[in-house]
Amino acid sequence: MVVCYHPGMSSRSRPRADQLSIPRTARFLVLPRALSKAGVKALFSEVLEETEAKRVAEEIRVAHGTGDDRYVHSFLCFRTHPTAQFLVGVELEELRYGFVLLIERRGHLVVFHRLAAGLDNPVASKGHPVDRRRLTHIWSDRARYQKLSTRRMTIARQELRGLRMRPMT
């Protein structure tokens, strides 16, 4: 496990993957093989470069569970200073934070992000989109869903960009 933090942050304020409020949209891919540490680092470096951001925290290929319950997560938190879009003709910069969360399980990759540019091509090169029929069984073969929502879905490049599932109770 590799964990990096911004030097000026106290240990209490360092963001961690387990503190995230996960967005409702995700990208699902089938992986031909597991991601490597070098591959994840390269992906995160490209995101930082494209977003013009500074790394705040990073966790690379942290494993959880054992056997069939095993999954691996990689997390990048960054800060960026985009120009305030609501002011015309003024070069006022905002301070904003974003993240990338990659979760690998059972030959699949799920990508969550906020404010991350430069993810499309590197992520697409790692695998291929999940067949929609198989999507409900990524996390469990016995999964049953009361409602499967595909609002705000983009079918560009045959991939699923947004999906909401509500487990049956």
Question: Tell me: the pLDDT tens digits for 105-134?
Answer: 988 899 999 999 888 888 888 888 877 666
Is the pLDDT at 17 greater than 80, yes or no?
yes
Label residue 141 by pLDDT band (50, 70, 90). low
Rounded percentage of the chain residues whose pLDDT exceeds 70:
70
Contact of 139 with 71, CB cutoff 8 Å: no
- DSSP string for residues in 95-151: -EEEEEEEEEETTEEEEEEES--S-HHHHHTT-EEPPHHHHTTSS-TT--EEEEE-T
Beta strand 96-105 with 108-114: parallel, antiparallel or unpaired? antiparallel
Least confident among 11-20, 140-149, 158-167: 158-167
**SS3 assignment, position 166:** strand
The more confidently predicted of residues 2 and 60 is 60
Q: What's the pTM? A: 0.71
Average pLDDT, the chain: 79
User: Given this model, what pLDDT does residue 59 score?
Assistant: 95
Label residue 90 by pLDDT band (50, 70, 90). confident
